[in-house]
Structure 1
């Protein structure tokens, strides 16, 4: 399988996992849990799961866990562990900002604001790393933004926007863009599980600094919070960072950002199937538009591969 296509699949699946988070968070809020409860339990349980998985891999498959098999023979110096932890703090910020946005704004608007990471990540890459986006990537971005407006249901409800919620939404988008960039550039020589564990350790440290983990002592964790923290940890802390750390180095940040927009269609589907929220026809149209944009950047490479096989 082509390296870029393989990477795109990992990014796509990671984004699909991330897409169910808003539904889980809405349910957790409805049961009376706070932002600190939700983000703290997610970070802690996610960190615990990733370190357990890494140690099991190291024990059962020692030759695979000593280095990243994709970078075999790479002589670059190893990234300091604290740098990987520091990069992972962006993951914690995404959760804090986005979950607060979900609390203050309708879920559809929160998702739209978070999706702005797409153009933010491309702008950051162009300014800092001097990497100009291709024409097809720019077209895909425009299509995604159009699809986002439709899928978010902007035309289906009267909007009363909380300025604080809007600010948290844009902060979540900025943090997500920085997470994508650092995930693709920091610690790529490390095994994926170790890199993910270090990143979530940084996320957990930051989250506990902002929200001291009082749930360890007041009984809330074992009184029901654990089930939501565990669900959020698996779908938001373990799978996306792990899959992104594998996929984004292969796709590049710009292309990876486009594929990660699969989050929005999944968010719409999960709200429809689980929360039984009404999803209008225009929203389904937006989902289809976004899926078209996700396929678009790889059409050229897939076509070339098909021609090469026929020759």
Structure 2
């Protein structure tokens, strides 16, 4: 096929994806600002996020189910979608929000960016997929980058309360999120990406609401406007809007290109954290971030996979 007949990848797709990735990266910034301004807890903030997100994903589920191409799921598939949703956007999000109470936004993003490496391990152990030489090198780069950035963080602030606990929470978040990603790769070809995303998010929302009803602070419903504003900002600007934007990016430039562009996420978070949260930018952080991004990109290099759900290209 000649160059003249070869379909061009539209630049608009890259711009759209870049905007979506940057919006997704604002999540940690908004959460940190909310914690500082309202002194709320992780469960309450997460519940408010899903209160405002629920109508959008509910409408999406209805629209998908009403299409002629709708695939009817059997009982096992319903249970699997629900389990993955609870794992990926209830448990992972809760662990992430708890961790953000103790670690910087920049460090959270780097630790969370380990999830592609965990997906490789899950595929190797559970689905018997061989880890290639390139992937082994990528894993070494990724974990070296995290180690360098983490040591740098300790040097900058050795007295930070709960740093180890918060880091562990985000680390667990990356593990549970990788289970969601690995599982979605097996379910999406059967039921479709849009239907999977909508119902997985609805299952996660149900889990969060039940948790809040049992253990949450009911006084949140009469709380100040600031807390509700942060919940709305989380839902619109770092959850719903970027998920739809990334979906458009997937259609225009494909999942591989979207994954590459989404590598801007950690850099965007670090820069935003510097300007909005006054977090320091230091050499070890920059070095570690670059190694992590290179490692993650190598992990997905020419890997054959279905297009992941839009939300999975960002974070919990």
Q: Tell me if both proteins adopt one fold, taking TM over 0.5 as the criterion.
A: yes
Q: Distance in 1 between matches of 2:157 and 2:242?
A: 33
- Please report how far the alpha carbon of residue 279 of structure 1 lies from its aligned counterpart in structure 2 after TM superposition: 0.9
Is the contact made by 2:116 and 2:299 (CA closer than 8 Å) also made in structure 1?
Answer: no
Distance 1:172-1:258 versus aligned 2 partners, 3 A rule: farther
Matched, 1:66 2:72: no
| 1:148-187, Cα deviation, whole Å (9 max, x unpaired) | 3445543641435735434322321211111211222224
- Please report how far the alpha carbon of residue 96 of structure 1 lies from its aligned counterpart in structure 2 after TM superposition: 0.4
2:276 to 264, 274, 277: 274
Aligned residue runs from structure 1 range 221-236, under 5 A? 223-236=225-238
| 1:6-62, Cα deviation, whole Å (9 max, x unpaired) | x9999987665442211110001012222122110112322222223455x569xx7
Q: Distance in 1 between matches of 2:189 and 2:285?
A: 37
Q: Distance in 2 between matches of 1:239 and 1:189?
A: 26
Q: Distance in 2 between matches of 1:118 and 1:260?
A: 13
Q: Distance in 1 between matches of 2:180 and 2:114?
A: 14
| 1:181-209, Cα deviation, whole Å (9 max, x unpaired) | 12222244445433222111111111122
Is the contact made by 1:114 and 1:172 (CA closer than 8 Å) also made in structure 2?
Answer: yes
Q: Distance in 2 between matches of 1:299 and 1:170?
A: 24
| 1:207-247, Cα deviation, whole Å (9 max, x unpaired) | 12222266687323x72333322322245443676658x96
Q: Distance in 2 between matches of 1:151 and 1:299?
A: 24
Aligned residue runs from structure 1 range 1-311, under 5 A? 16-32=22-38, 33-53=40-60, 55=62, 65-67=67-69, 78=73, 80-90=77-87, 91-151=89-149, 153-154=152-153, 156-160=155-159, 162=162, 163-212=164-213, 218-220=221-223, 223-238=225-240, 243=246, 262-296=264-298
Task: Decide which moves more: 224-233 or 77-86.
Answer: 77-86
Q: Any idea what SS the aligned residue of 1:66 has?
A: coil
TM-score by length of 1: 0.71
Please list every run of 5 or more consecutive structure 2 residues that lacks an aligned counterpart in the other structure.
1-6, 304-316
Distance 1:170-1:187 versus aligned 2 partners, 3 A rule: same
The aligned length equals: 281
Q: Distance in 2 between matches of 1:217 and 1:272?
A: 30
Please list every run of 5 or more consecutive structure 1 residues that lacks an aligned counterpart in the other structure.
69-75, 302-311
| 1:102-123, Cα deviation, whole Å (9 max, x unpaired) | 1133444434443332332211
TM-score by length of 2: 0.70
Q: Any idea what SS the aligned residue of 1:39 has?
A: helix
Q: Any idea what SS the aligned residue of 1:31 has?
A: helix
Distance 1:300-1:108 versus aligned 2 partners, 3 A rule: closer
Q: Any idea what SS the aligned residue of 2:130 has?
A: coil
Q: Distance in 2 between matches of 1:136 and 1:203?
A: 35
Q: Distance in 1 between matches of 2:103 and 2:241?
A: 26
Is the contact made by 1:140 and 1:258 (CA closer than 8 Å) also made in structure 2?
Answer: no
